[in-house]
Structure 1
Amino acid sequence: MKGYVFHGPGEASWEDVPDPGIKEPTDAIVKVSAVTICGTDLHILKGDVPEVRPGTVLGHEAVGEIVETGSDVRTVRPGDRVLLSCVTSCGRCRYCREGVYGQCLGGGGWILGHTIDGTQAEYVRVPYADLSVHPLPGTLASEDAVLLADIFPTSYEVGVLNGRVRPGDTVVIVGAGPIGLAAIATARLFSPERIIAVDLAPARLEAARRFGADAVADVHEAPHQLVADLTDGLGADVAIEAVGVPDTFELCTRVVRPGGHVANVGVHGKPATLHLEDLWIRDVTITTGLVDTYSTPTLLKMAAAGRLPTGQLVTHTFPLEQMERAYDVFSRAAETGALKVVLGGEQHELAVPTA
């Protein structure tokens, strides 16, 4: 089969790799029908995630069909159409028993495309299949469902829920890429007074408006002053960092009010300065986190009912074999207008960006 293989920082290719097989009785083999590329994959290619070894097939988000299961798998069977979670759960360790699947001690957590071969391939082995795949309703298109593998649960759990967004809040979301846009969509579920999106790309700021941002700000045009003006100098109740660079994290700590929450979602490859000389007195709560995906069943129900704007995030689709082209388009988002690219699924033509 073919897979997209990481060979070291800046090097990866779509090439022949061995077919996966059942290794444990809890495994399933899935034929991939739709897969997407995550910003975390770009971080891996930059060398920001050194745990990923050369020779690893990348990817941790997919929709596909079960083709084989181990003897202990009970909840799915060959022929089932499923969503693959970006986080794998053994279901038995202390963290999994508490629903903190991202910290699984039993061989799970974020492993696909990280410590084992991932989903950007024609077939993928999924450990602990009973808890790590979700059967899909026939009404939910693959292009919509695949966005529930990572970005919507991540934005919702690590951004909105960790940030404790409440009715009437002012929420600032720094970064209007796919994670930031999904954070806007899911923050709106809690009826904040206003959502302010910050980015440096005009096309992404326009996308933020379409997703429900009440105000937008260019990162180079004093967004902290806009936040101060809109909150009578108080600051944001919640600031969500959705980029993963030092400047955006530090901006979040500047725009949040005393007693507010900073929820870091971005994947950081460099140290960020924590200005405790300013923050120690302000009662600010800062959270970090890897998604646990405990919200995925709820989000699937919402998506099937048309309550989440998943499809609006997909700007480009490709056949699976055009993985290298898809990476090129996604990595040049400022030029191409790419938000989320999907390979496979029901469509196979390059879509025209909506912004």
Structure 2
Amino acid sequence: MKALVYNGPGQRSWHEVPDPVIQDPEDAIVRVDAVTICGTDLHILKGDVPTVERGRILGHEAVGTILSVGDGVRGVEVGDRVLISCISSCGRCEYCRKGRYGQCLGGGGWILGHLIDGTQAEMVRVPFADRSVYKLPDNVSNESALLLADILPTSYEVGTLAGQVTPGDTVVIVGAGPIGLAAVTTSKLYSPSSVIVVDSAPARQKAALDHGADLAFGPEDDVVETIKELTGGLGADVAIEAVGVPATFELCTQVIRPGGRVANVGVHGAPATLHLEDLWIKDVTITTGLVDTWTTPRLLSMLAAGRLSMPGLITHRFGLDEMQDAYDVFSRAGETGALKVALFSDESKDLED
């Protein structure tokens, strides 16, 4: 089969690799019907995630069809169309038994495209299949389901829920990439009084407004003072960091009011300054985290019922064998206007049509 292989910082290739095989009774082999590229993949290519070894197949978000299963798999069978979660779960360790699957001690957590070969390939081996894939209803398309592999549960759990968004809150989301836009959608499930998005790109500011944000600002708007003026001098109740660079994290700590919550979602590859000399007296809560995906069944039910959607988030579509082109477009989002890209196998294109 062919796959997208990480060859070291700044280097990737799409070439023939051995087909995956069952290695454990709980494994499933899945034909990849639809896959996407995450901002985390770009961080890996920059060298920000040194635990990713050269030769690793990247990718942790996909929809596919079960081709084979190990003797220990009970919940899915050959032919099932499934969502492949970005998080795998052994289901037995202390953290999994608490629903903290991202911290799995039994060989799960974020392993696909990280510690084992991932989904940006024609086929993928998924460990712990009974707890790491989800059967898809017939009325949920491959393209819609892709958003549940990582983007929506991450924004929901690490952003909206960790930030404790409640009715009437002022929510500031810094970053209007896919995670930031998904945070707009998931935060609005809790009826905040206003959702304000900050991004340096005018096109992404517009995308935020299109996805339901009430206001969108850029750096030229003196964001800290503007948000204080809009909130009677107090600041935001919740600030969600959705970029992963020091400046955006620090901005979140500047716009938050006393007693507020800062939820960091972005993947950071460099240290950020924590201004405790200003924050210690303000009773500010700061959370970080890797998604656990415990909300995936809930989000899938909402998607199937027509209660959750993000039209327009996927801006560019490719064939699976156009992986290199998709990376080029996604990595130059400022020039191409890409928000989220999706790649489809020939079999998947038939389903989508």
TM-score under structure 2 normalisation? 0.97
Output the amino acid matched with 1:321. D
Residue pair 2:174, 2:248 contacting (<8 A) in 1 also: yes
1:190-232 CA-to-partner distances (Å, cap 9, x unmatched) read 0000000000011100010011111111023211112111101
Q: Any idea what SS the aligned residue of 1:31 has?
A: strand
- The whole-number CA distance in structure 1 between the counterparts of 2:311 and 2:326 is 17
Residue pair 1:112, 1:118 contacting (<8 A) in 2 also: yes
Partner of 1:277: 277
Output the amino acid matched with 1:60. H
CA RMSD of aligned residues (A): 0.9
Partner of 1:229: 229
- The whole-number CA distance in structure 1 between the counterparts of 2:219 and 2:295 is 31
- The whole-number CA distance in structure 1 between the counterparts of 2:31 and 2:310 is 23
Residue pair 1:217, 1:226 contacting (<8 A) in 2 also: no
Q: Does 1:118 align with 2:105?
A: no
Q: Any idea what SS the aligned residue of 1:220 has?
A: helix
Q: Does 1:247 align with 2:231?
A: no
Partner of 1:292: 292
Measured after TM superposition, the shift of residue 309 of structure 1 is 2.3
Partner of 2:37: 37
Q: Does 1:341 align with 2:344?
A: no
Q: Any idea what SS the aligned residue of 1:148 has?
A: coil
Partner of 1:109: 109
- The whole-number CA distance in structure 1 between the counterparts of 2:175 and 2:259 is 22
1:222-248 CA-to-partner distances (Å, cap 9, x unmatched) read 111121111011000000000000000
Q: Percent identity?
A: 68
Partner of 2:328: 328
Partner of 2:166: 166
Measured after TM superposition, the shift of residue 347 of structure 1 is 4.8
Partner of 1:22: 22
Extract unaligned runs of 5+ from structure 2.
Answer: none
Output the amino acid matched with 1:38. C
Q: Any idea what SS the aligned residue of 2:189 has?
A: helix
Partner of 1:351: none
- The whole-number CA distance in structure 2 between the counterparts of 1:307 and 1:203 is 26
Larger mean Cα displacement after TM superposition, 212-221 or 273-282:
212-221
Extract unaligned runs of 5+ from structure 1.
Answer: 349-355
Q: Does 1:84 align with 2:80?
A: no
- The whole-number CA distance in structure 1 between the counterparts of 2:305 and 2:280 is 44
1:110-147 CA-to-partner distances (Å, cap 9, x unmatched) read 00000000000000000000000000001111011011
Q: Any idea what SS the aligned residue of 2:217 has?
A: strand
Partner of 1:9: 9
- The whole-number CA distance in structure 2 between the counterparts of 1:331 and 1:311 is 21
1:56-95 CA-to-partner distances (Å, cap 9, x unmatched) read 0000000000000000000000000000000000000000
Partner of 1:182: 182
- The whole-number CA distance in structure 1 between the counterparts of 2:92 and 2:339 is 37
Q: Any idea what SS the aligned residue of 1:297 has?
A: helix
Q: How many residues align?
A: 348
Q: Any idea what SS the aligned residue of 2:143 has?
A: helix
Partner of 1:64: 64
1:250-269 CA-to-partner distances (Å, cap 9, x unmatched) read 00000000000000000000
- The whole-number CA distance in structure 2 between the counterparts of 1:320 and 1:62 is 12
- The whole-number CA distance in structure 2 between the counterparts of 1:36 and 1:80 is 20
Moved over 6 A (4+): none
- The whole-number CA distance in structure 2 between the counterparts of 1:264 and 1:251 is 11
1:277-328 CA-to-partner distances (Å, cap 9, x unmatched) read 1111000000000000000001011111222223421101000000000000
Partner of 1:138: 138
Q: Any idea what SS the aligned residue of 1:173 has?
A: strand
Residue pair 2:185, 2:310 contacting (<8 A) in 1 also: no
Partner of 1:74: 74
